[in-house]
Amino acid sequence: MPPRPLRRTKLSDIIVQDVKRLIVAECLEPGDRVPSEPELIAQYGCSKGTVREALKALQVEGLVTMRTGPGGGAYLADADPEPASRMLRNFLHFRHLDGEGVYQIRKVVEPELAASVTGRLTPERFAALEDNVAECSRHPETEEEQHRQRILELEFHNILADACPNPLLAFIGRFLNEMLRDLVVLKKAYVPERHQFGDSNVGYHRLLLAAYREGDAARVRAIMLAHMHDAERHMSALEGEMANSFLLEFPGREASRGV
């Protein structure tokens, strides 16, 4: 068969790519102005409609915001990672990702992320981590409190991600924490009472705080790796309990799924 002709790139798409290239090359920061409509029209010799199409595409992607009035125009936005994270999490939920799949990656990411934070925690972040441990040290008495504690335990790791100097590593770490949060909520993995899970998490978080105080990155990495292996065992046990509970509640479900 003859090769298919290449699709001609629209001029508005070229403008979008060039503006992105400018943002990266010039290391623009949120709030910096990007080229205006008249500037882009003059540079590309195109119509106002083509430029507006390009700026609209950048706006939809969340890269720029449009301001009106004096001093108006397109300005670099403060990119929010949550929409991208949410879309990717939704995609993976339909692939039936479980705790084991998340921890396969988390055991690699979390130790490196934790080690990279050594020496970078501010007094405010130390205080936030210590407050988190204190909150999680209280044994939950209700289902709502159990749910809250599971989420708080993940928030400890989000505080570390916020201090990570590598933005890609920080995004992946927070993304995995949000995946686990979704699994906890969707599977109600906080319902079975497993005080030993919470106690173990608190114990590891205290060890991590002590290692951070000492500035020992190697010890931080080793503690976090052990923490991830331990948390994986607890998560697998919880998911097993929830699966058994589901089958008891809906006894015909197993047969209907061909299991």
* Boundaries of every domain in the chain: 11-76, 82-256
Q: According to the model, what pLDDT value does residue 186 have?
A: 59
pLDDT digits (tens, 9 = 90+) for 181-209: 887 765 555 444 567 888 999 999 999 99
Range from 138-142, 163-167, 208-212 carrying the lowest mean pLDDT: 138-142
Distance CA 157, CA 110 (A): 8
Grade residue 118 by pLDDT with cuts at 50, 70 and 90.
very high
CATH, range 82-256: 1.20.120.530
Distance CA 25, CA 115 (A): 30
Grade residue 241 by pLDDT with cuts at 50, 70 and 90.
low
CATH, range 11-76: 1.10.10.10
pLDDT digits (tens, 9 = 90+) for 61-115: 889 999 988 888 899 998 778 888 888 888 887 888 888 889 999 999 999 999 9
With DSSP H G I counted as helix, E B as strand and the rest as coil, what are the percentages for the chain, rounded to 5? 70, 5, 25
| Sequence-distant contacts of 28-33: CB under 8 A, at least 24 apart | 28/76, 29/76, 30/76, 30/77, 30/78, 30/79, 31/75, 31/76, 31/78, 32/75, 32/76, 33/73, 33/74, 33/75, 33/76
The token duo for 182 is 């979704």
pLDDT digits (tens, 9 = 90+) for 7-31: 678 999 999 999 999 999 999 999 9
Q: According to the model, what pLDDT value does residue 249 have?
A: 44
* Residue 48 pLDDT > 80: yes
